[in-house]
């Protein structure tokens, strides 16, 4: 499934393990017929050299896509801000933090975390920062077009005043647009400039990459809703425990499973 827009591509592919990896490797070498050279390093620049491919192995056969479907969309994330109204991601995007750094940032005071997913996703799983750390904000969106409206709400601006702003989503795509929109407003709108926001950060690779770095869950609570036919899943170590419980309960209804807790 490939969504193609003026601002870029958003693709989810399924296939044989080696085939998908070969595809990713070939894309990294693709120059689009426009070869460029980095003036500082002399290295060849390619279109997908810095793309972060998210790989999930061992999907059940029923979760594979039956065919390749590529289609054009006006926006990768539908904010109702198409064409010239859309903020330039390359110019205004937030600072990308790897999971370890994002994890630390969530523990800092004077920080807010915006879940830029829809509310039904946040309702089954979200980050839970420690006491004294960041404050969670769920915009309670039913659909993405509500985010620009929510961002312009006076109550929202009051929550962001003088704060570091963290954003996260499933894989990182929605954060690209959300962070760019906020940073554009910080530079072009006087009332947003006056808020004194101390920085806009986003989770590199999204919740999916955070789970890979913190398989026991870290500061995450609940499940992560995904759109690649897995639908919802917990961190890997938590899922493994749940599978073990189901197997043991099925074979021995009176067996109690004792698990270790992990400090992160």
Residues 6+ apart with CB under 8 A from 163: 110, 111, 112, 197, 198
Q: Secondary structure of 234-264 in the HEC alphabet?
A: CCHHHHHHHHHHHHHHHHCCCCCCCCCCCCC
Which candidate, 197, 199, 187, places its Cα nearest to that of 157? 197
Is 175 a known active-site residue? no
Extract the tokens encoding 121: 């996703």
* Helix, strand, coil percentages in the chain from 3-state DSSP, rounded to 5: 35, 15, 50
Asked if 166 and 178 count as a contact pair (C-beta separation under 8 A), the reply is no
Q: Which of 11, 24, 107, 169 is catalytic?
A: 169
So which residues are the catalytic ones?
Answer: 169
């Amino acid at each position: 499934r490939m969504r193609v827009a003026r601002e870029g591509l958003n693709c989810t592919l399924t296939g044989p393990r080696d085939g998908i990896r070969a595809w990713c490797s070939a894309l990294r070498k693709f120059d689009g017929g426009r070869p460029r050279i980095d003036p500082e390093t002399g290295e060849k620049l390619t279109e997908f050299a810095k793309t972060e491919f998210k790989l999930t192995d061992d999907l059940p056969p029923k979760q594979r896509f039956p065919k390749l479907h590529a289609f054009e969309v006006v926006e990768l994330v539908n904010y109702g801000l198409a064409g010239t109204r859309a903020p330039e991601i390359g110019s205004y995007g937030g600072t990308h933090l790897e999971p370890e750094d994002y994890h630390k940032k969530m523990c800092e005071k004077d920080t807010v975390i915006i879940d830029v997913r829809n509310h039904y996703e946040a309702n089954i799983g979200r980050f839970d920062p420690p006491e004294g750390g960041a404050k969670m904000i769920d915009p309670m969106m039913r659909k993405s077009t509500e985010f620009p409206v929510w961002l312009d709400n006076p109550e929202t601006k009051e929550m962001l005043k003088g704060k570091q702003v963290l954003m996260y989503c499933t894989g990182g795509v929605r954060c690209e647009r959300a962070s760019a929109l906020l940073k554009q407003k910080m530079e072009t709108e006087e009332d947003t400039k006056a808020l004194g926001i101390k920085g806009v950060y986003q989770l590199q690779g999204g919740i999916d990459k955070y789970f890979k770095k913190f398989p026991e869950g870290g500061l995450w609570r609940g499940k992560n809703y995904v759109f690649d036919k897995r639908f919802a899943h917990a961190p890997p170590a938590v899922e493994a425990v749940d599978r073990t419980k189901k197997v043991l309960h099925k074979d021995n209804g009176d067996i109690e499973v004792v698990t270790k807790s992990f400090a992160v």
